[in-house]
Chain A
Amino acid sequence: METRVSSPTREVFIGDGHPTVLIGERINPAGKKKLAEALKAGNLEVVHREALAQAQAGADILDVSVGTFGVNEVKLLPQAVKTVMDTVDIPLCLDSAVPEALEAALKVYKGKPLINSVTGEERSLARVLPLVKEYGAAVIGLVQDEKGIPKDSERRIAIAHKLVEKATAFGIAQEDIIIDCLAFAVGADPGSGTAVIDTIRKIKAELGVNLTLGASNVSFGLPDRSLLNNAFVVMAVAAGVTCLIVDAAKIRPAVVAADLILGRDKHARRYIDSYRQRQRLQKQEG
């Protein structure tokens, strides 16, 4: 299974035969006061800077979200998307819980974007799937429905099946659906780590679709979050996740290492390049 997304001139492929794709998470005001304040004021300078920094850190795709209190997403999301398109030439992941904002962003986007996201809730399926189809996009499906996010893997898998069934029935190709298994905080629920790894393995085996994960949740409420996030993404990649929504600067070295071990990095080009890049940075800073 291979998912293709694109910018005007660049294509990115997600799938087992490819290195793990990194979707940069940093253009998202949740938990970022400065960005939230800037967005409220309609100032997109921070968005421009974050886009540049993440592309330099090796992000393959950039997530763009402007969802925060006091922001009109329908108006601002397309503006932010344009700003990012003018800054970097990599595919984007249009991120909003407001379908109208997604549609406005789809209208200005050039290429084949990823949409973040649709859930197993009827009202979400009914509103988002038509957009995916009309604009020829790919979509991230969250294993969440009217009853929330199931803690056990059985019900999460059931929702994944439902998402794929509904989307394909709508005429969306199976490779254009990427399932997000949703990681919980292991500090609050010690069983949640194995539950999500188990879910990844089973969905992979039963549906064969591409899988993604937002990895920062797992370390919520714990010290040294970066260490935990790194350990977790490596396990997730080994279990079958093919793209990750992460802070590329902090996560990429470990993911590149995992890809090499899993035989997805011929002649260790990416691993060695990543090493050299860090050396250069260290010299500049040192």
Chain B
Amino acid sequence: MAKDLVNTLADLKEKEALGIVQERLSAGEDPLRILDDARRGVEIVGKRFSDEEYFIPDLVYSGEILKQITDMVKPKLTKAAEVKRLGKVIVGTVAGDIHDIGKDIVVFMLDVNGFEVFDLGIDVPVQKFVDKIKETGSGVVGLSGFLTLAFQSMKDTVGAIEKAGLRNEVKIMIGGGQIDDQVRSFTGADAYGKDAMDAVKLAKGWIGG
């Protein structure tokens, strides 16, 4: 039996992990199972990051390995076998704030955990969130912000979603350096998360079945 891809990837052993993928592909294994193992490996990376055992460069590295694995596996995937997604999530750093590191980690972990993620980037005008909800029918919106002034933008964004008549269609989560329940209640969001794993948990609770 081939070595354990999940743990090899979780330990960030790039060459070994890619070797295992190559072996399993050559043996004619179902590419979806390989991808699923790779995802579980990165999930462990995310947990270790939450526990402060891993750091940002570890996360970035795991993302690069995962991308290589996806590229290797993709040609073998038949259309029918496309990965089934849990649901759609829109994520962006709110207007007036340009911090992207935390937001990028949330996008990555949501993606790895099976969500279809629409990343609107940074300094996102409120209308762009509204338009994207209409366009994609996403059930969850994640608002990111590090600056104090981001809290007002979050409130404005929640307000605009409400005004567009979409507030009951979506769950809204917020996150960022200084956010707590007091901020959550000020913005009118449904929940806040202290890290990317929280964001995954919240999204799974709402639309992940």
Show the binding face of A for B, using Cβ within 8 Å. Answer: 30-31, 36, 67-70, 97, 144, 148-149, 185, 187-188, 190, 220-223
Binds A, one of B16-24, B29-37, B176-184: B176-184
B2 within 8 A of A: no
- B57–chain A nearest beta-carbon distance, Å: 5
A68 and B60 CA atoms in complex are apart in Å by: 30
**In the complex the two chains form, is A220's CB within 8 Å of B56's CB?**
yes
Q: Quote the shortest CB–CB distance from B18 to chain A (angstroms).
A: 21
The verdict on A69 contacting B123 (CB below 8 Å), with A148-B98, A187-B55 known, is no
A69 touches B98 (CB 8 A): no
> Is B122 part of the contact surface with A, judged by Cβ < 8 Å?
yes
Given contacts A69-B148, A69-B182, A70-B182, contact A187 B177 (CB under 8 A): no
* Chain B residues with CB under 8 A of A190: 57
- B residues within 8 Å of A by Cβ? 55-57, 60, 98, 101, 104, 122-123, 147-149, 151, 177-178, 182-183, 186
Contact yes or no, B122 A185, CB < 8 A:
no
Q: Which residues of B contact A70 (CB under 8 A)?
A: 182
Give Cα distance in the complex from A69 to B122, angstroms. Answer: 20
The 8 closest A-B pairs by CB, nearest first: A221-B56, A187-B56, A148-B98, A188-B101, A187-B57, A222-B55, A69-B148, A67-B148
- Say whether, besides A36-B178, A69-B182, A188-B101, A148 and B55 are in contact (CB < 8 Å): no
Closest to B151 in A: A69
Partner of B101, one of A30, A144, A221: A221
Q: Is the beta-carbon distance between B55 and A221 smaller than 8 angstroms? A: yes
Measured CA separation A222–B56 after assembly (Å): 7
Question: From residue B81, how far is it (CB to closest CB) to chain A in Å?
Answer: 34
Q: Give chain A nearest CB distance to B172 CB in angstroms.
A: 18
B151 proximity list for chain A (CB < 8 A): 69
Cα–Cα distance between A190 and B64 once the two chains are bound (Å): 14
In the bound complex, CA of A212 to CA of B45 (Å): 36
B98–A149 contact, CB under 8 A?
yes
Residues of B within 8 A of A69 (CB): 148, 151, 178, 182-183, 186
Which residues of chain A come closer than 8 Å to B60, judged between CB atoms?
A: 187-188
Q: Closest B residue to A73 by CB, please name it.
A: B148
Residues of B within 8 A of A149 (CB): 98
- For B55, list chain A residues within 8 Å (CB): 187, 221-223
A69–B186 CA distance with the chains assembled, in angstroms: 10
The CA-CA distance from A144 to B98 in the complex, in Å, is 10
Known: A31-B177, A187-B57, A220-B56. 7 other contacts (CB 8 A): A30-B148, A36-B178, A68-B148, A68-B178, A148-B98, A148-B122, A185-B56
- Closest chain B residue to A144, Cβ basis: B98
